[in-house]
Structure 1
Amino acid sequence: MPHLRIATVNVNGIRAAARNGMSAWLDAADVDILTLQEVRGQDEHLEAALPGWTFVHDEATAKGRAGVAIASRTPSLAHRTEFGPEDFDSKGRWIEADFLIGDATLTVVSAYVHSGEADTPKQEEKWKFLDAMSVRMAELGAEGALALVTGDLNVGHRPLDILNWKGNVKKAGFLARERAYFDRFLGATGEPVAGQEGIGRGMVGQLSDTRPFASEGGGTGLGWVDVGRRFHGEVDGPYTWWSMRGKAFDNDSGWRIDYHLATPALAERVQAYQVARAVAYDQRWSDHAPVVVDYTY
């Protein structure tokens, strides 16, 4: 059965990644569609790093920051970068592209959610982005649609997703309110979302009272599927990001913050899932590992 291989990775700068081994990995990986975050460059840098590929790219407003792209072996049918309210600067953080697979259209998103910082303006920007995600994912997830949100989403959804989760419950990336958004993304369509026992219960209710998506029926699930968690089950990780400091990589003290979130119709097509973790610290070309998934068509 034919399959489409889609990989996502935060490259931590496309020029540095290309210098440090991304090209060799990509040559061997047999990827059809590659979603990138933290490109931190211009079109010319993507062209140099990805010869022979076509791509769509959205640069951040600030040079050398963020940046998202979707590269493919064949051109996309269309792409979009509009995201969130008009007064919200989402440039370099969300791009969608449509592809024809078989006789169906697949929408692929490359997303780079703000890292945030608890109780600061940086976290307010993250809330705005997660609000906008809630609205757009409700639209993309129409019944029977084939859609995929990939990227560095900068939230560990559950304790299984962070080795040291107890030490991070008050830090951006594992705040209860952040995880409540993911409870909603992944909750059964239209069903009330209760939150995670002991670490998130009640947060969705609070969000429903205060966040813009309350008018969209806040507190009910959107029905998306976390492909990595479904594929691996109730196990720690596998992690996708490790700090460059200390022995985090060697000790596998990581976070699972890079995702494939699929609509139910697409999730049924998953054939294989892999976190392409480097075999050794000195062979890393980013602080994130690519997440690679095969979808049948």
Structure 2
Amino acid sequence: MLRVTSLNVNGLRSAFRKGLAPWLEKHNADVVCLQEIKIQDADLIDELRHPLNYTGYFCHAEKKGYSGVGLYLRHDAQVNAGMACEEFDREGRILRADFKDLTIISAYLPSGSSGEERQAAKFRFLDHFGPWVDAMMEDYKKTGHNYIICGDWNIAHKEIDLKNWKGNLKNSGFTPEERAWISDVFDRRGFVDVFRKVNAEPDQYTWWSNRGQAWAKNVGWRIDYQIATPGIADKAMATSIYKDERFSDHAPLTIDYDWKLAPFVAK
């Protein structure tokens, strides 16, 4: 079995102070994809860099206290950062681990909620991200190599994916343009929303605003995904969103796959 967990930590140091390490030890994931680590390399103490029996890899934003992604791996992989886009690679948004027949990516897509400028940047990101995603599907069809893109996509796909959908139709993260873009990832590009393949229930959220009583009342959004090529998506056995403890404003999303992970072998 392969257990893959994705979590926007909203600050890696903060999540560890809130008990992330003991949970990781019990949870026993093979791959942990982290987003919004908000830390620079010089500040990564050993506990954060290589916790438990994981090897950590990180892609930091140039701006301190901002963005950044990471991976905790238990198996050898070839790890690379970025998507050959200078504007967004500086923000630390993409980190990929290539194994023998599977690639797992930690991705942190921009939020546009702070205003028109960042919403425009979000659309620019999607313009670059789309062809990068297309290349993965082309590779899958040609070679059978599978891909899982984990992370905070900052888009809720359908009405079922957020509590107050009627009040958010014009808000970043649920605009018609964003929803159409992610629909295209599934409908035309052929990727699979793995969580929804296994769990079609309502009220399944991964992020809650810190305003009001959003967490207590479960007024949330499902904006964290594991989006995969069909071969690995068909191997999904179980999903979970962990809410017994709070490590950040997001909850860990875990999917178990009937898959034996083979370490990367250089050609």
TM-score w.r.t. the length of structure 1 is 0.81
Instruction: Note the C-alpha offset of 1:119.
Output: 6.3
1:48 matched residue in structure 2: 47
SS state at 2:62 partner:
coil
Q: 1:285 aligns with which of 243, 247, 251?
A: 247
Question: In the alignment, what sits opposite 2:72?
Answer: 71
Cα deviation, residue 10, structure 1: 0.3
Q: Is 1:23–2:24 an aligned residue pair?
A: no
CA distance in 2, matches of 1:125, 1:4: 35
Q: Any conservation in 1 of the 2:60–2:68 contact (CA below 8 Å)?
A: yes
- For 2:211 and 2:80, the matched residues in 1 are separated by 36
Per the alignment, do residues 84 and 173 of structure 1 end up closer, same or farther by CA in structure 2, a change over 3 Å counting? farther
Question: Secondary structure at 1:180's aligned position in 2?
Answer: helix
Q: 1:37 aligns with which of 35, 38, 46?
A: 35
The residue type paired with residue 228 of structure 2 is A
Map of 1:270 onto structure 2: 236
Residue 263 (structure 2) aligns with: none
Match for residue 193 of structure 1?
A: none
Paired residue for 2:217? 251
Q: Is the 8 A contact 2:82 2:92 kept in 1?
A: no
Residues of 1 paired with 2:45 and 2:153: CA distance? 22
Code of the residue aligned with 1:52 in structure 2: it is N
Q: Tell me which amino acid in the other structure corresponds to 1:80.
A: N
Alignment length (residue pairs): 252
CA distance in 1 between partners of 2:164 and 2:45 (Å): 35
Q: 1:284 to 1:117 in 2, by over 3 A?
A: closer
| Structure 1: gaps spanning 5 or more residues | 188-220
Post-superposition CA distance 1:58-107 (Å, at most 9, x none):
0012011000011111231x12223154455453111111124xxxx210
Instruction: Considering Cα pairs closer than 8 Å and 6+ residues apart, tell me whether 1 or 2 has the greater RCO.
Output: 2
Alignment of 1:1-297 (within 5 A): 3-43=1-41, 44-45=43-44, 47-49=46-48, 50-76=51-77, 78-100=78-100, 105-117=101-113, 120-142=116-138, 143=141, 144-187=144-187, 221-233=188-200, 235-278=201-244, 283-297=245-259
Q: Distance in 1 between matches of 2:14 and 2:85?
A: 33
- AA partner of residue 113 (structure 1): L
C-alpha RMSD of matched pairs (Å): 1.6
Q: Structure 2 CA distance, aligned partners of 1:87 and 1:60?
A: 11
The farther-off stretch of 283-292 and 82-91 is 82-91
Aligned-partner Cα distance in 2 for 1:115–1:97: 24
Change in 2 beyond 3 A, CA 1:228/1:120 = same
Offset of residue 284 of structure 1: 1.2
Mapped to 2, the partners of 1:181 and 1:121 lie a distance apart of: 19
Letter in 2 for 1:180: A
Q: What residue ranges of structure 2 are gaps of 5+ in the alignment?
A: 260-267
The CA distance in 2 between the partners of 1:251 and 1:84, in whole Å, is 41
Q: Secondary structure in 1 aligned to 2:130?
A: helix
Provide the rounded CA distance (Å) in 1 between the counterparts of 2:158 and 2:113: 19
Give aligned-pair identity as a percent: 37
- Work out the CA distance in 1 between the residues paired with 2:242 and 2:20: 12
Q: Secondary structure at the match of 2:123?
A: helix
CA distance in 2, matches of 1:119, 1:73: 39
Specify whether residues 60 and 86 from structure 1 end up closer, same or farther in structure 2 by C-alpha distance, changes over 3 A only.
closer
Q: What is the TM-score normalised by the length of structure 2? A: 0.89
Deviant stretches of 4+, over 3 Å: 84-91
Quick check: 1:118–1:171 contact (8 Å CA) kept in 2? no
Bigger CA radius of gyration:
1
| C-alpha displacement of 1:118 | 7.8
Structure 2 letter corresponding to 1:40? K
CA distance in 2, matches of 1:66, 1:270: 29
Partner SS state of residue 102, structure 2: strand
Quick check: 1:227–1:267 contact (8 Å CA) kept in 2? yes
Per-residue deviation at 1:251? 0.9
The residue identity in structure 2 corresponding to 1:260 is Q
